[in-house]
Structure 1
Amino acid sequence: MGTLDGRVAIVTGAGRGIGREHALLFAREGAKVVVNDLGGANDGTGTDAGPAQQVVDEIVAAGGHAVADTGSVQSWEDAEALVRRAVDTFGNLDILVNNAGILRDAFIAGMTETQWDAVIGVHLKGHAAMLHHAAAYWKGRSKAGEKVNAAVINTASASGTFMPNAGQANYGAAKAGIAALTLVAADELDRYGVRVNAIAPIARTRLTLATPGMGALFAQEVPEGEFDAFSPANISPLVAFLAGADCTLTGKVYAVQGGAVSELAGWHDVNTIESDGPWTVADLAKQLS
């Protein structure tokens, strides 16, 4: 018996890296998986049906159930079709893992509109599009009197939460937005039986290997038999736990890397100044300097 027996999951960006590990573990735990991946390059250009189908083939060869999907998560229509594909193929949808992402790193002064829009589109709009259509499906079931027990796991990042990275204004902004989207969605969707959490993973993927200043760290070889702290497989057990029918957690954001899991908190007061009347510029300068 697996922890996800009988549950149907969509995992976006599941052809490689962390998403691939999610899909494989979910299948081993008994879930039926829709493996979504556009198959593009690091920057989101191009398409290739191969990565998603290869993961499906691996799952099926091991006795699991999976189907490939190559739609673009930032397309409202493709996102709707992806939710419909899960329901039409496996009869239901219980889990949505938003994982798809790209990089187009640039410093702010030199960043182009295209670089900004592409990253915001895949990450933030992609999360929102998938979340919208999945939420509409679960709301409809709930309104029809069915008991829904669904889970969404979004993918934020250290770059958008606790470790901002120069050269990633677009990526960091998108990931910070995803963390905020998670908290809002958790508050909204609880009434329909849907839990929403997020992770901020650190692992070796083709994106992190391409990140300036970080690639060399992730590329270090690990001697055979030793624990690989940057393996993407280390991320997936937490996601599988959050996706389980018995999990009650919602509105949480977790940093996860190697053997460490840390719950993250958002903006909070660190210092407050007050005045009995309207502030003057001089008074503020005195208090805040």
Structure 2
Amino acid sequence: MGLLIRSPANPAYGELFSKIQEWTDAYGLELVTVAPTYYRGAADELSALRRLVSMRVGAILVSTGVIRTEELKQFLPVLPIVTVGRPESDPEVYGISYDEANHATQVARAVYGCGHRKVAVVSPPTENSLAEHLRGVRTAEVLRDLGCEVFAVDANAFGTSKDGAGAVIDLVQHQSVTAAVFSNDLRSVEFLTQARKIGIEAPRDLSVVGLDGLLPGLELMGLASLTLPVDVVARRAVEVISQMLNDRESVQVRHELYSGELHPGASLGVVPRM
């Protein structure tokens, strides 16, 4: 079985890779993994898929939010493909993913519940990460529906978590926002690191929430985050691909979604007086 996965340097992908490996072993399968360099885009991932096919793997799991489904579909006549941990809507491609809409809703309601009405939302475009983009868009939608003023911050630089931190710092310094939601925890930590250097602290000056919940020491840092259900997604992915290897025609294409749980940390506080 082949696995195309984004850089395991990101804890969310590193944990997913580890769990897929565990479940692959449990099902008696052999895993061949390709992880393109973290700063390369869809073209490099497409080349990686071709390498996996040339190695004659029996099926492929795709766990990256960069390469488009249209690019994946060209391989379907050759072997089964299941996307893992990324949003999927194509009726021809089996997808097992996190319920990003639910996650964004949980985060938005938690921020609103703490009294915040002016919120920065940091997320990348779809070409950088489809999952993170959807998290940001949905979070902003829910916040607006609740009556909040949303400041959308684009993180356009590919392969870095630093992008967007400066823009949020500017918003804090101008007292434009009382909270910021980041599309993953690495972005949250990078912001907090930069902010602390100039005397901005969470939650004193700004409440901060991330997504992933997989960074080591998250509780010690006190970072509020939503933990992704990585183990169940990895298990289901290996179960489905195993069924496809045994009898592909018996497996009906579905799009499975699994929800994680928000863990409020010290970085999410009630709205400060402005």
TM-score by length of 1: 0.38
Structure with bigger RCO (C-alpha 8 Å, 6+ apart): 2
Q: Which has the larger radius of gyration?
A: 1
* Higher strand residue share: 2
